[in-house]
Amino acid sequence: NNEREEGGESPPRPIHRLDKDVGGVLVLGKTRKSTANIQNLFREQKISKVYWALVHGVPDPVSGRIDSILKAEDNQQKMGTTYYQTVAYCKEQQVSWLQLSPKTGRKHQLRIHCSQNLHTPIVNDKKYSKDTKCRYFSAEGEEEGEGFLFLFARK
């Protein structure tokens, strides 16, 4: 018990969190000390996150930086910044594959930036995609519209 309390091994602890609908990489700390150290690196923005998203349409321009005011969980308005790059485009399906690098960590920041700023909502984003013309992709055996959000933490 003392070893655990002094920074020794203990059950893994999440260092950051993903929105409930986002898949991909989750960083865990092995000790309290390592968890605190890595959390500080995230807080000081010394660790960059990279996400992949499949979106409806093509952003114009195809790469850039988004700076917009977002409502924080405490109802305060705070700046959100995301860099984006179009990796590929499928003309037949009218979807693009984006690489997203948030510089701030606001709630639903990437989903809002894709939908409201780029006008390319993430596939299967039922909260921020108001366009009924957007097709939804479902896995085999799922009802149409039941598919998962195409947003994944990559690095």
Q: Catalytic amino acids?
A: 19
The H-or-E segment that residue 43 falls in is: helix 32-43
Tally the domains of the chain: 2
14 phi and psi angles, rounded to 5 deg: -65, 135
Per-residue pLDDT of 78-129, as tens digits, reads: 999 999 999 999 988 889 999 999 998 888 999 999 999 999 999 988 888 8
Q: Which domain holds residue 23?
A: 7-43
Please report the pLDDT score of residue 1 as a whole number.
44
User: Cα 12 vs. chain centroid, distance in angstroms?
Assistant: 22
Judge if 58 and 38 occupy the same domain: no
In contact, 56 and 18? CB cutoff 8 Å: no
By mean pLDDT, which of 38-42, 62-66, 84-88 is the weakest? 38-42
In contact, 9 and 34? CB cutoff 8 Å: no
Q: What is the CATH number of the domain that holds 86?
A: 3.30.2350.10
Judge if 77 and 145 occupy the same domain: yes
Confidence of residue 16 (pLDDT cuts 50, 70, 90): confident
pTM: 0.79
Judge if 65 and 102 occupy the same domain: yes
